[in-house]
Structure 1
Amino acid sequence: MSIVASRLGLGPLPAFLDPPSRRPVQRVPVTGGAHMWLVTEYALGRMVLSDKRFSRAAAARPEAPKWHAVNPSPNSIMSMDGAEHARLRRIAAAAFTAKRVAELAPFIERTADELLDTLAAGGRPADLVSGYTAPLPVATLGALLGVPAADRPRFEDSVVALFGVAEPVPDGEIHRARHELILVDYMSSLISRKRREPQDDFLSVLIRANDGGTLSQAELINFGLALLMAGYETTAGQLSMSVLALLSGGTTWDAVDEKTIEELIRTTPTTPVSFPRVAVEDVPLGETVIRAGEAVIVSLVHCNHDDSVFAEPDPVGGRRPAQHLTFGHGVHHCLGAPLARLQLKIALPRLWQRFPGLRLAEGAGSVRWKDGLVTRGLARLDVTC
Structure 2
Amino acid sequence: MTLLDTAGLGPLPSFLQQQGAGAVLPIVSPAGNTMWLVRDYTLARKVLTDPRFSRAAAVTPQAPKFNDAQPAADSMMSMDGAEHARLRRLVSGAFTTGRVAAIAPWVERWVDERLDRLERRGTGADLIGDLAAPLSVSVLCTLLGIPAADSERFRGWVEVLFDITASSPHEKGRRRLELLDYMGQTIEQKRRQPDDALLTVLIKAQERGEMSMAELLTLGLTLLMAGYETTVGQIGLAALVILSDEVVYDALKRQPERLPGTVEELLRLTPATPLSFSRVATRQVQLGEVTVRAGEGVVVSLLHGNRDPATFPDPQRLLPQGRDAGHLTFGHGVHRCLGAPLARLQIQTVLNRLIGHFPRLRLVDALEPVAWKHGLATRGLSRLSVEWR
TM over 0.5: yes
Contact 2:27 2:37 in 1 (8 A): yes
Aligned counterparts of 1:7 and 1:244: Cα–Cα separation in 2 = 13
Alignment partner, residue 281 of structure 1: 283
Question: Given that residues 239 and 351 in structure 2 are in contact (C-alpha distance below 8 angstroms), is that contact kept between their aligned partners in structure 1?
Answer: yes
Deviation of 1:365 after TM superposition, in Å, equals 2.5
Task: Give 5+ residue unaligned stretches, structure 2.
Answer: none
Correspondence list, 1:1-385, <5 A: 7=6, 9-147=8-146, 151-154=147-150, 156-164=151-159, 179-250=175-246, 251=248, 252=250, 253-254=252-253, 255=255, 256-313=258-315, 314-321=317-324, 323-385=326-388
Q: Which consecutive residues of structure 1, in runs of 5 or more, have no partner in the other structure?
A: 1-5
**SS state of the match for residue 184, structure 2?**
helix
Query: Is the contact between residue 126 and residue 382 of structure 1 (CA under 8 Å) also seen in structure 2?
Result: yes
Shift of 1:341: 0.8
Distance between the aligned counterparts of 1:81 and 1:164, measured in 2? Answer: 27
* Distance of 1:367 and 1:318 partners within structure 2: 28
CA distance in 2, matches of 1:172, 1:112: 32
Query: Per the alignment, in what secondary structure is the counterpart of residue 75 of structure 1?
Result: coil
Alpha-carbon shift at residue 339 of structure 1 (Å): 0.6
CA contact (8 A) 2:143 2:198 kept: yes
- Going from structure 1 to structure 2, the CA distance change for 1:161 and 1:177 (only over 3 Å counts) comes to farther
1:321–1:162: structure 2 CA closer, same or farther, 3 Å change rule?
farther
Moved more, 199-208 or 283-292: 199-208
Aligned-pair Cα RMSD in Å? 2.1
Tell me how far 1:96 sits from its aligned partner.
3.3
TM-score, reference length from structure 1: 0.91
Amino acid at match of 1:261: V
One-letter code aligned to 2:118? L
- Report the CA distance between 1:109 and its aligned residue: 1.3
Give TM-score, length-normalised by structure 2: 0.90
Distance 1:288 1:176, change over 3 A: closer
SS of alignment partner, residue 164 of structure 1: helix
CA shift, 1:350, in A, is 0.6
Q: Is the 8 A contact 2:126 2:383 kept in 1?
A: yes
Partners of 1:124 and 1:38 in 2: CA distance: 45
Aligned residues: 372
* 1:135 Cα offset (Å): 0.8
CA change 1:32–1:260 in 2 (3 A) is closer
Distance 1:175 1:363, change over 3 A: farther
Structure 1 Cα separation of the partners of residues 271 and 327 of structure 2: 10
What per-residue deviation string (whole Å, max 9, x for no partner) do you get for residues 242-262 of structure 1?
Answer: 000001122123245111111
**Cα distance, 1:312 vs structure 2:** 3.2
